């Protein structure tokens, strides 16, 4: 009988370092892990004109198709493959492509609002919240959106003031109370990273022994 994959949730504000932590976790666990980002599951919004999509609030829970993410996580926990959507930050909509993902012993869920939904939280075995000062998060977001997503400095700052900051205060920060572990500095916190990797490897070893019985 196949053992259900172990699910780790990595949440935190935009620019907190959660993606870095998730990536380093996957690298340390190698072929035993996969990353599933909440960002893949932004709603398609193809029925909304581009000018309106640009102005939408992408930091509110309603911006995501979390029900689809929940369904995909359940499939992976049943050791069944999924085809997750692909989202374009350039067009603010999904692309026609999907990405085929086979199950893995460890599923790393990553996103700003993954702790906000109770049903999604209940699928996680460990919940990690990556903490960072607001000014650090803003600087990282500015650099990312301008360099990687072709945004103007003014548009990034405007979005931060109008939606990112208030949504962080309303939804993201309060969700920290659900975390089993709060990590400052994200992927740069080597002590916390090593603790997590040791814990996961111990669980994987236990699972391997269970399979032999």
Average pLDDT over residues 134-158: 85
Higher model confidence: residue 41 or residue 150? Answer: 41
Q: Taking a C-beta distance cutoff of 8 angstroms, is the pair 204, 106 a contact?
A: yes
Phi, psi of 205 (to 5 degrees): -65, -40
Average pLDDT over residues 148-166: 86
Q: What is the pLDDT of residues 136-147, one digit of tens each?
A: 888 888 888 888
Residue found under tokens 């939280």: 121
* Nearest partner of 96 among 104, 108, 88, judged by Cα: 88
Q: What is the pLDDT of residue 32?
A: 85
C-alpha–C-alpha distance, residues 14 and 33, integer Å: 23
* Domains (range + CATH), the chain: 6-192 (3.40.50.300)
Phi, psi of 16 (to 5 degrees): -80, -25
C-alpha–C-alpha distance, residues 133 and 2, integer Å: 42
- Report the range out of 43-47, 114-118, 138-142 with the highest average pLDDT: 114-118
Average pLDDT over residues 21-33: 88
Q: What is the pLDDT of residues 50-84, one digit of tens each?
A: 888 888 899 999 999 999 999 999 999 999 999 99
Average pLDDT over residues 94-122: 96
């Amino acid at each position: 009988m196949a053992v259900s994959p172990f699910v780790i949730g990595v949440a935190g504000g935009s620019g907190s370092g959660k993606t870095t932590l998730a990536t380093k976790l996957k690298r340390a666990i190698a072929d035993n892990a996969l990353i599933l980002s909440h960002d893949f599951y932004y709603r398609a919004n193809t029925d909304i004109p581009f000018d309106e999509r640009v102005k939408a609030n992408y930091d509110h829970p309603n911006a995501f198709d979390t029900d689809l993410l929940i369904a995909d996580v359940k499939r992976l926990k049943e050791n069944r493959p999924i085809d997750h959507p692909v989202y374009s930050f350039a067009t603010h909509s999904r692309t026609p492509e999907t990405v085929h993902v086979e199950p893995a012993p460890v599923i790393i869920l990553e996103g700003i609002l993954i702790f906000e939904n109770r049903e999604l939280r209940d699928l996680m075995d460990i919940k990690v919240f990556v903490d960072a000062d607001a000014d650090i998060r803003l600087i990282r977001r500015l650099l990312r959106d301008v360099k990687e997503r072709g945004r103007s400095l003014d548009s990034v700052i405007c979005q931060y003031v109008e939606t990112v900051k208030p949504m962080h205060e309303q939804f993201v920060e309060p969700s920290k109370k659900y975390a089993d572990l709060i990590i400052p500095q994200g992927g740069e916190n080597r002590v916390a990273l090593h603790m997590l990797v040791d814990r996961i490897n111990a669980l994987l070893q236990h699972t391997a022994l269970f399979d032999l019985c």
